[in-house]
Amino acid sequence: MQLREFDFRALDILDTLLDGVTAEDLARPTPCAGWDLGDLLRHQISENHGFAAAARDGVATDWDTGNAHPDPIAGYASSVAEVKAAFAEDGVAERKMAIHDFGTFDAEMALSMHLVDQLAHGWDIARALGLPYAPDEDLVAAAMKLVELIPAGAENRGDGQSFGLVVETGADASTLDRMLGLLGRDPAWRVS
């Protein structure tokens, strides 16, 4: 499954970004409104545990496991190992997975959803840490196939929704910047 390879590569990029992160870094602001880096890592722990449970069992009953984690740096690393192991299991390609309250999807769609999450939050992490972020174009192109399907109307975006309002990007914007804009992120965001 090519999407599994893409997802694992995206996870590896996040590992590289987080190499050397300290407890003091957890208070850094991120592009995710109201979340510092610690909050974002707790979200990633929750997502990785949830996707792992869905891959193994077809459904995850708890999508908030990271919120109580005392050490988001160590917790994040173990959640990556867990989600990679679950997605690598024999037969995972034939499984159906319930993801949040979005519905039940085949493995390819679930992997696409996880890939989008990793790429978007990889950018968030890089911005919070002031690091460059340039995932390979094939990863971003694969994610864009799903991102372009997300309804863009204001009734599906904003406070309380999974995505912010679409941020317009110029005609000469990179694929990554267009993806970020479609997900409601401003590609020009920097720590102030």
* Global pTM value: 0.94
How many CB atoms lie under 10 A from the CB of residue 91?
Answer: 7
Residue 161, pLDDT above cutoff 80? no
Phi/psi for 100 (5° steps) reads: 45, -140
- Indicate the pLDDT class of residue 154, thresholds 50, 70 and 90: confident
Share of the chain above pLDDT 70, in %: 100
Q: pLDDT tens across 76-115, in order?
A: 999 999 999 999 999 999 999 999 988 999 999 999 999 9
- Indicate the pLDDT class of residue 160, thresholds 50, 70 and 90: confident
Domains (range + CATH), the chain: 2-139 (1.20.120.450)
Torsion, Cα 12 33 140 190, to 10 degrees, reads: -90
Q: pLDDT tens across 109-145, in order?
A: 999 999 999 999 999 999 999 999 999 999 999 999 9
Q: pLDDT tens across 19-73, in order?
A: 999 999 999 999 998 899 999 999 999 999 999 999 999 999 889 999 888 999 9
